[in-house]
Amino acid sequence: MNLPLFPLNTVLFPGCMLDLQIFEARYLDMISRCMKQGSGFGVVCIVEGDEVGEAASRFAAVGCEAMVRDFQQRPNGLLGIRVEGGRRFKVERAQVLPDQLTIADVQWLDEQEERPLLGEHADLAALLTALAQHPLVEGLGMAGMPSGQLQLANQLAYLLPLEPGQKLQLLQLDDPEQRLTQLQAMVEQLQGDAS
């Protein structure tokens, strides 16, 4: 399947919200097409290069589909959109079009079934509840108790101040339980660095 890509300095996770300001012609055209067709685009994390100007020279091989949920003209004249993370995908082949838009052949990755939270996830769930009270997170409309392991893992991986490389590592894991175990280790490392 052909998917237009939007390389960003961020890692999007399924079910998570991201606000973007669009001003480059290639992305305005892409968003307009997506909205007409009711389709999404792919968010991939930039490994090398910039968000603006020429197409990023290197980006992660695994990304997340983004579906436009809301849009508005911003006071600064730019188009503001809110997207929600959809399915994860792996980039098989990518090409840069003359207008510098990157399109890719992608393979969708299978998602595990949602599983209930267990007692051992209580600390991580409490951490997410605390994060959800932050005004920025509240503004994204992502507050509320996660329904299971997958949602908890995705939201924490998205909201925690982890390195992009760590977030990519988490996005690539298929098993939510593995993601949570990895997150637990990363949180302990963050707490260790802070003390």
Spatial contact of 151 and 112, defined as CB atoms under 8 Å apart:
no
Q: How many residues does the chain have?
A: 195
CA terminus-to-terminus distance, the chain: 47
Condensed to tens digits (0 to 9), the pLDDT of residues 172-189 reads: 999 999 999 999 999 998
pLDDT tens per residue, range 75-96 = 988 999 999 999 999 999 999 9
Confidence label for 141 from pLDDT (cuts 50, 70 and 90)? confident
CA distance 164 to 170: 10
Q: Mean pLDDT throughout 91-120?
A: 93
Note the pLDDT tens digit of each residue in 8-26. Answer: 999 999 999 999 999 999 9
Where does the chain have alpha helices with state H? 25-37, 122-132, 135-139, 149-159, 164-172, 176-194
Domains of the chain: 2-108 (2.30.130.40), 119-194 (1.20.58)
